[in-house]
């Protein structure tokens, strides 16, 4: 019995040490990517190519999701607000929910599933098929040539995608409340305009999406580069990217919100 | 033509954790020579290539390439040295997001400031040397296994290296592709003076094209010689390997306790 308990404790300790070791390894890799970003900045066409794959190809899912989230927000917001005779505030509700929270967070979650998983799978497969080793043998550093451009493309794409998500959401809300339900158009826009603050709402939302962009892409490139070079290894790494990124996004969102909106009414 | 050694390997040893893989290897390879390294699976042949390219560090001994001790070089110096080396991976390892043309042009674009028009001419010349000039517009997923390896070969000679290492270049090829790759290895060495190291299991094909053979077993050089010496060798290990005999110094059976004992017939009636 005592041997089982001892082995369970040992197991927990082993897992804890392994997790901390992996976190350290990931941090070192992150610093390495930053140090080797010179090539990406000098040859920006490498980043532009990746911007197409991570940013442009994620547009469809971001646009459609943003539109539907905005429509649902408009519908739910109207239903609740009309009970208190405040349906004119529905524009404010939609805009603030999107710009402060849902825009950056949901866009980042979608970005992790769409682009993050693709980055991990691509880098992992390049490793499994010895393409990264071949690059190293050709005296080309794979971190500088493959990883860094993907990292920067992700970091640049994320705030734009979050902004597009919010804009589509606002139009989704407009479509449901103004066009379908019949809330006054002038009220929808003017209430929104007066309630949304550039510094507290839009800028903070933008800063959040920048943090999420760094977190998701850093996790994606690390998981890909660190993946065991087998089919099973790459599939496991892709799953870990989505799961870890999602948890990190939600955790980071709480911390950032706590710092950003202290004392803001 | 007698020329001095391009690669000198002295007392080279390597262990993964505490498991010894190579133990005191000595080799020497001249410019323009084609050398085969043979041995069973897991005998450390690929590890030897990784040591020569500086991808891993030896636990003892050294590899000298063109007079420089590989594992003592800084990262920058090692990358500079690697421009003089090419490596053909087992399945080609072509960059799947680049066309055949861009794969061959990759190193030229990364390491030189050549104008695009000159790169185009050079790439077509390299592809012509492997017979695939007409396939320059294809993507790697449109190539057969043999073609992919020929493109990878064109890519590895892009910057006219002094050495090309081939990691099992004949695996999974049909007889025609196998013969094409074998002849290309020989022809490139003859015409460009490239030293070639071929890690392979394919005894018959490689004996046709190489100048010298090393057999590695249990981390040491079990035998060595010219193809003629190897064919005529009566050393049990070499004989078993060259003639593909089922049993010999490399046993058919994985070590186990006595068969009757395993079957529960301990009184040895069987």
Of residues B253 and A191, which shows the higher confidence score?
A191
- What is the tens place of the pLDDT at every residue in B88-104? 888 889 999 899 999 99
- What is the tens place of the pLDDT at every residue in A239-254? 999 999 999 999 999 9
Size of interface A-B (CB pairs under 8 A): 49
pLDDT at A234 (0 to 100):
95
- What is the tens place of the pLDDT at every residue in B159-185? 889 999 998 888 877 888 888 888 888
Nearest in space to A234 (alpha carbons), one of A243, A244, A225: A225
- What is the tens place of the pLDDT at every residue in A172-193? 999 999 999 988 999 999 989 9
How many angstroms separate the CA of residue A261 from the nearest CA in chain B?
A: 44
Flag if A130 and B53 touch (Cβ within 8 Å).
Answer: no
Flag if A136 and B94 touch (Cβ within 8 Å).
Answer: no
- pTM attached to this predicted model: 0.84
pLDDT at A11 (0 to 100):
93
The structural architecture, per CATH, of the domain B5-247 is 3-Layer(aba) Sandwich (3.40)
Q: Which residues contact residue A188 at a Cβ distance below 8 angstroms, ignoring those fewer than 6 apart?
A: A88, A90, A91, A173, A174, A177, A178
Does B239 score more than 80 pLDDT?
Answer: no
Which of B90, B93, B110 is closest, CB to CB, to A131?
A: B93
In a domain, A9, yes or no: no
- B223 pLDDT tier (thresholds 50, 70, 90): confident
Does B65 score more than 80 pLDDT?
Answer: yes
Q: For an interface test with B, which of A132, A136, A137 has the most B Cβ atoms less than 10 Å from its Cβ?
A: A137
How many angstroms separate the CA of residue A122 from the nearest CA in chain B?
A: 10
pLDDT at A264 (0 to 100):
55
B119-133, B154-168, B236-250: the lowest-pLDDT one: B236-250
Q: For an interface test with A, which of B87, B88, B159 has the most A Cβ atoms less than 10 Å from its Cβ?
A: B87
In a domain, A20, yes or no: no
Alpha-carbon distance of B142 to B151, in angstroms, equals: 12
Does B1 score more than 90 pLDDT?
Answer: no
Of residues B125 and B235, which shows the higher confidence score?
B125
Are B85 and B164 in contact by the 8 Å Cβ rule? The answer is yes
Are B13 and B26 in contact by the 8 Å Cβ rule? The answer is no
- CA distances A260 to A207, A208, A246, A256, Å, are 10, 9, 21, 6
Where exactly are the structural domains of chain B? 5-247
SS3 string, chain B, reads: CCCCEEEEEEEEEEEECCEEEEEEEEEEEECCCEEEEECCCCCCHHHHHHHHCCCCCCCEEEEEECCEEHHHCCHHHHHHHHCCEEEECCCCCCCCCCCHHHHHHHHHHHHCCCCHHHHHHHHHHHHHHCCCHHHCCCCHHHCCHHHHHHHHHHHHCCCCCCEEEEECCCCCCCHHHHHHHHHHHHHHHHHHCCEEEEEECCHHHHHHHCCEEEEEECCEEEEEECHHHHHHCCCHHHHHHHHCCCCCCCCCCCCCCCHHHHCCCCCCCC
pLDDT at B233 (0 to 100):
78
Interface of B with A (CB under 8 A): 53, 55, 79-80, 82-83, 85-87, 89-91, 93-96, 106-107, 110-111, 152
Which of B80, B90, B107 is closest, CB to CB, to A138?
A: B107
What average pLDDT does range B261-269 have in this prediction?
Answer: 73
Are B107 and B119 in contact by the 8 Å Cβ rule? The answer is no
Does A94 score more than 60 pLDDT?
Answer: yes
Q: What is the ipTM of this complex?
A: 0.79
In a domain, A155, yes or no: yes
Q: How many domains does chain A have?
A: 1
Alpha-carbon distance of B190 to B197, in angstroms, equals: 14
Which of A125, A130, A139 is closest, CB to CB, to B82?
A: A139
Flag if A137 and B94 touch (Cβ within 8 Å).
Answer: no
A129 part of contact set with chain B, CB < 8 Å: yes
What average pLDDT does range B57-61 have in this prediction?
Answer: 90
**DSSP count for chain A of H helices, then E strands:** 13, 0
Flag if A139 and B94 touch (Cβ within 8 Å).
Answer: no
Q: Which residues contact residue B55 at a Cβ distance below 8 angstroms, ignoring those fewer than 6 apart?
A: A133, A136, A137
Flag if B106 and A138 touch (Cβ within 8 Å).
Answer: yes
Q: Which chain A residues have a beta carbon less than 8 Å from that of B111?
A: 139-140
How many angstroms separate the CA of residue A2 from the nearest CA in chain B?
A: 32
Owning domain of residue A173: 36-260
A31 CB neighbour count, 10 Å cutoff: 10
Sheet holding B34-38, edge to edge: B85-88, B163-167, B195-200, B34-38, B212-217, B220-225
Does B45 score more than 50 pLDDT?
Answer: yes
Residue-averaged pLDDT of chain A: 92
Residue-averaged pLDDT of chain B: 86
Of residues B16 and B115, which shows the higher confidence score?
B115
| Residue for token pair 């929270």 | A101
- B37 pLDDT tier (thresholds 50, 70, 90): very high
């Amino acid at each position: 019995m005592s041997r089982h308990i001892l082995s369970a404790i040992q197991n927990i300790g082993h897992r804890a040490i392994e997790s901390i070791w992996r976190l350290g390894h990931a941090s070192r890799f992150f610093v390495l990517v930053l140090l080797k970003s010179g090539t990406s900045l000098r040859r920006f066409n490498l980043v532009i190519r990746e911007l197409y794959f991570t940013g442009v190809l994620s547009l469809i899912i971001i646009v459609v999701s943003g539109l539907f989230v905005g429509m649902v927000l408009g519908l739910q917001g109207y239903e609740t607000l009309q009970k208190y005779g405040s349906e004119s505030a529905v524009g404010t509700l939609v805009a603030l929910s999107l710009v402060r929270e849902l825009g950056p967070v949901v866009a980042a979650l979608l970005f992790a599933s769409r682009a993050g998983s693709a980055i991990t799978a691509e880098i992992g497969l390049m490793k499994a098929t010895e393409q990264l080793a071949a690059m190293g043998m050709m005296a080309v550093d794979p971190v500088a040539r493959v990883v860094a451009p993907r990292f920067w493309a992700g970091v640049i794409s994320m705030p734009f995608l979050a902004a597009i998500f919010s804009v589509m959401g606002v139009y989704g809300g407009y479509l449901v409340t103004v066009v379908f339900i019949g809330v006054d158009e002038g009220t929808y826009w003017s209430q929104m305009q007066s309630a949304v603050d550039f510094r507290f709402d839009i800028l903070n939302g933008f800063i959040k999406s920048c943090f999420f962009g760094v977190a998701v892409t850093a996790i994606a490139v690390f998981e890909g580069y660190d993946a065991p070079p087998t089919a099973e290894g790459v599939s496991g790494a892709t799953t870990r990217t989505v799961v870890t990124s999602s948890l990190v996004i939600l955790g980071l969102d709480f911390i950032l919100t706590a710092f950003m909106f202290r004392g803001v009414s | 033509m007698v020329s001095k050694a391009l690669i000198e390997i002295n007392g080279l040893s390597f262990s993964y954790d505490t498991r010894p893989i190579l133990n005191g290897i000595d080799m020497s390879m001249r410019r323009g020579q084609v050398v085969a390294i043979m041995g069973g699976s897991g005998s450390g042949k690929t590890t030897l290539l990784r040591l020569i390219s500086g991808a891993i560090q030896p636990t003892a001994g050294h590899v000298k390439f063109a007079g420089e001790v590989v594992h003592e070089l800084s990262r920058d110096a090692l990358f500079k040295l690697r421009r003089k080396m090419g490596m053909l991976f087992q399945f080609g390892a072509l960059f799947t997001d680049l066309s055949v043309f861009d794969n061959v042009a990759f190193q030229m674009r990364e390491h030189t400031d050549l104008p695009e028009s000159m790169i185009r001419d050079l790439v077509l010349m390299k592809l012509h040397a492997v017979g695939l000039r007409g396939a320059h517009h294809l993507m790697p997923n449109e190539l057969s296994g043999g073609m992919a390896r020929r493109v990878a070969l064109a890519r590895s000679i892009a910057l006219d290296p002094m050495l090309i290492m081939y990691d099992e270049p004949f695996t999974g090829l049909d007889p025609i592709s196998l013969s094409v790759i074998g002849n290309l290895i020989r022809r490139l060495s003859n015409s460009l003076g490239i030293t070639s190291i071929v890690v392979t299991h394919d005894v018959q094909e490689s004996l046709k094209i190489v100048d010298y053979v090393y057999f590695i077993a249990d981390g040491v050089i079990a035998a060595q010689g010219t193809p003629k010496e190897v064919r005529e060798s009566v050393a049990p290990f070499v004989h078993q390997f060259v003639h593909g005999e089922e049993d010999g110094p490399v046993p058919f059976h994985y070590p186990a306790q006595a068969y009757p004992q395993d079957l529960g017939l301990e009184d040895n009636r069987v």
